[in-house]
Amino acid sequence: MRIQKTISEFIAEREVPAVAEGATVADAVEVMKQHESDCALIVDDGRRLRGIFTERDFLNRVAAAEKSVAETPVAEVMTTEPEALGPEDGVNYAINRMAVGGYRNVPIVDPEGRAMAHLGVRDVMLHLDEVFGDLDDPEDDAAAAEWTDIGGGG
Amino acid sequence: MKLNDLALVPVRDVPRREAVCVREDETLIDVVRLLEERGRGAVVVQRADGTLAGIFTERDLMLRLVHEDQDWHRKRVGDFMTETPTCVSRQDPLAHALRLMREGGFRHLPQVDEDGRPVGILSVRDLLAYIAEHFPEEFVNLPPDPSREAKNPWGG
């Protein structure tokens, strides 16, 4: 299987769905709508990542808890200290977090911890669909072979 | 397992959780509480005769409702669901389900039987978990932190 891409190949030229720590849930939802994103990254004044707020958090911590979207600070209902990855990490780490950890969004931060982007499950699906799509190419034996016979042996 | 064998695995062989089903006239607040209780992000909505009416997800909850007041609590899920959602059947191959999810941006695909009755729901997490399980060297058996991974073939 050829999962050799780095996260940087997926997040180029993508805007961060960022909201400030003092924002309300309504502000975060607005940013998520604008960016057509299923999460918002909560950042401090230096754009360092403080938390993540997802559609699941909205369901469980806002709607089910019957909290006011206009009055509840997003910091109260976000997930704090989410596990982040860096742009040079392999996308297979993000897939691991999603498949094993059950996360649908992985925040991407620079070495100083500043939010750069988020990698979503949709990005991963696109990649896996490409990998599977390559299987249709009859020239591509590498995908079908469990090992490559380089000759030799006896 | 080889990659192209995996692509052909029928949906029925992918382990997944049972679908959470509700009727069209269920109130939204009851649906929300049910989703929270079950730890799920989508419900399958059924007609009175048991056939599939639609799907309602956490994304619909956030995008289709006005949350400024609590008027939405008593509204019917049938008025806010996605009608006639894209579905999979038992024999569809895994690669087909993956493509439907990718093209439509869906995270959940209801699975229906020959009579149009929902018999399950396939989530993107189910698919990823199944793929990862069959390629543990790629996805599961990773060092806990990518920075600890050897960056050159000699390690060190």
Q: What digits encode the pLDDT tens for the residues B15-38?
A: 888 889 999 999 999 999 999 999
Q: How high is the mean pLDDT of chain A?
A: 85
pLDDT tens-digit readout, B8-19:
899 999 988 888
**Using CA atoms in the order B114, B115, B118, B121, what is the torsion angle rounded to 10 degrees?**
20
Please tell me the total number of residues recorded for chain A in this structure. 154
Of B41, B63, B140, the CB nearest to A33: B63
Closest alpha carbon within chain B to A39: B59
Q: Please state, in angstroms and as integers, the Cα–Cα distance from residue B106 to each residue in A101, A154, B102, B109, B123, following that order.
A: 20, 51, 7, 7, 9
Of B35, B36, B129, the CB nearest to A99: B129
Residue A127: pLDDT over 90: no
Q: Please state, in angstroms and as integers, the Cα–Cα distance from residue B102 to each residue in A125, A126, A147, following that order.
A: 6, 6, 29
Residue A149: pLDDT over 80: no
What is d(CA B104, CA B97) in angstroms, rounded to the nearest whole number? 11
Residue A110: pLDDT over 70: yes
Return the higher-pLDDT residue of A133 and B77: B77
Q: Which of residues 109-138 of B touch A (CB under 8 A)?
A: 124-125, 128-129, 131-133, 135, 138
Residue A109: pLDDT over 80: yes
Q: Is the torsion defined by CA of A110, A116, A122, A128 positive or negative?
A: negative
Of B33, B35, B67, the CB nearest to A69: B67
Rounded to the nearest angstrom, the minimum Cα separation between A104 and chain B is 8
Q: Does B38 touch chain A (CB under 8 A)?
A: no
What is d(CA B23, CA B43) in angstroms, rounded to the nearest whole number? 10
- Could you tell me which residues of chain A have a Cβ less than 8 Å from any Cβ in chain B? 1, 3, 26, 29, 32-33, 38, 55-56, 58-60, 62-64, 66, 69-70, 85-86, 89-90, 92-93, 95-96, 98-100, 102, 104, 121-122, 124-126, 128-129, 131-132, 135, 143-146
Give me the percent of chain A exceeding a pLDDT of 70. Answer: 84
Closest alpha carbon within chain A to B125: A99
Tell me the average pLDDT across B47-62: 95
Contact A95 B139 (CB under 8 A): yes
Contact B61 A58 (CB under 8 A): yes
Neighbours of A33 (CB within 10 A): 12
Q: Does B67 touch chain A (CB under 8 A)?
A: yes
Tell me the average pLDDT across B63-80: 89
Q: Please state, in angstroms and as integers, the Cα–Cα distance from residue B14 to each residue in A55, A96, A118, A134, following that order.
A: 25, 18, 28, 22
Q: How high is the mean pLDDT of chain B?
A: 87
Contact B142 A29 (CB under 8 A): no
pLDDT tens-digit readout, B113-133:
888 889 899 999 888 888 888
**ipTM field:** 0.85
Q: Does B32 touch chain A (CB under 8 A)?
A: yes
pLDDT tens-digit readout, A52-102:
999 999 999 999 999 999 999 999 999 998 999 999 998 888 988 888 888
The residue assigned the tokens 């959602």 is B85
pLDDT band, residue B102 (cuts 50/70/90): confident
pTM over 0.95: no
